[in-house]
């Protein structure tokens, strides 16, 4: 498998304004290094221990995105270096990231994860829960986090119309959140949605970050 060729193909399909997060979880350093040499510097991981090990052993100009379900007791390990946390699914988690970021003297960029799929296994705020949290305003006191946008995963289905509808619902909520709570925040601009099997639909719905793994690295070795 030619990772560089696969990467080039995926990048050629991304319009201006859409960035690629190469999902490198469960893949070895050698695979990441090949993508890095081909010009890819943004990588996504879902396990804290794995991401930290890779951070310590790979080039320091790599931009690491945490895309998995984050446990509060693991936050302190990634806060010193993580570029963006995609999956903030509760106020409690946001507050803990803020606490650990303050200790590390950093401001950490975060995305709020919305549950848009028809699958119970996925995490995230419901739109109403997210509205309630944002309207409550407590998050404004968290000075060491920056809410940069939203993230969501569509249902794992072959029904393309359903996938499109779910992405459009998230895009619509993004516009609502931007207008209501982040109108003056130029940094609130990221909409992370779309993976290897549905990133074209995500881009059509307004995604600014696509998380693509198997299309670049092949199937994962669990």
This prediction's pTM: 0.95
Q: Does 71 fall in a domain?
A: yes
In a domain, 222, yes or no: no
Q: 183 is in which domain, residue-wise? A: 3-217
Q: Tell whether 196 is covered by a domain.
A: yes
Kindly report, residue by residue over 195-220, the tens digit of the pLDDT.
999 999 999 999 999 999 999 998 76
Rounded CA-CA distance 60/4 in Å is 20
What average pLDDT does range 90-109 have in this prediction? 97
- pLDDT tens string 134-186: 999 999 999 999 999 999 999 999 999 999 999 999 999 999 999 999 999 99
**pLDDT mean across residues, the chain:** 95
Residues facing residue 185 across a β-bridge: none
> How far is residue 127's CA from residue 192's CA, in Å, rounded to a whole number?
16
Residue 122 has pLDDT above 80, yes or no: no
pLDDT at residue 123 tops 90: no
In a domain? residue 54: yes
Measured distance CA(79)–CA(96) in Å, rounded: 10
pLDDT band at 120 (very low <50, low <70, confident <90, very high): confident
Strand, coil or helix: 145? strand
Q: Residue 6 class from Cβ within 10 Å (0-12 exposed, 13-18 middle, 19+ buried)? A: buried
Is 96 within a domain?
yes
Would residue 20 count as lying in a domain?
A: yes
Looking at the 3D structure of the chain, how many domains does it have?
A: 1
* Structural domain contains residue 28: yes
CATH number at residue 58: 3.20.20.10
| pLDDT for position 218 | 87
Structure confidence by residue, pLDDT tens digits, 13-64 = 999 999 999 999 999 999 999 999 999 999 999 999 999 999 999 999 999 9
pLDDT, position 1: 64
pLDDT of residue 63: 98
Tens digits of residue pLDDT in 63-87: 999 999 999 999 999 999 999 999 9
């Amino acid at each position: 498998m030619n990772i560089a060729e696969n990467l080039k193909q995926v990048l050629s399909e991304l319009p201006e304004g859409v960035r690629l997060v190469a999902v490198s979880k469960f893949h070895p350093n050698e695979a990441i290094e090949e993508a890095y040499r081909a010009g890819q510097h943004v990588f996504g991981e879902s396990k804290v221990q794995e991401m930290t090990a890779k951070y310590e052993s790979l080039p320091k100009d790599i931009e690491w995105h945490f895309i998995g379900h984050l446990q509060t007791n693991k936050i302190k390990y990634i806060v010193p270096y993580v570029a963006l946390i995609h999956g903030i699914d509760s106020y409690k988690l946001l507050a803990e990231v803020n606490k650990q970021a303050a200790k590390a003297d950093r401001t950490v960029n975060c995305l709020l994860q919305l549950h848009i799929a028809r699958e119970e296994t996925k995490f995230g705020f419901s739109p109403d829960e997210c509205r309630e949290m944002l309207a409550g305003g407590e998050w404004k006191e968290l000075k060491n986090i920056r809410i940069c946008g939203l993230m969501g995963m569509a249902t794992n289905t072959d029904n393309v119309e359903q996938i499109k509808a779910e992405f459009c619902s998230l895009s619509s909520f993004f516009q609502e959140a931007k207008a209501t709570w982040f109108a003056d925040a130029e940094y609130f601009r990221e909409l992370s949605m779309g993976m290897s099997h549905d990133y074209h639909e995500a881009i059509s719905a307004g995604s600014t970050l696509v998380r693509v793994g198997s299309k670049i690295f092949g199937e994962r070795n669990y």
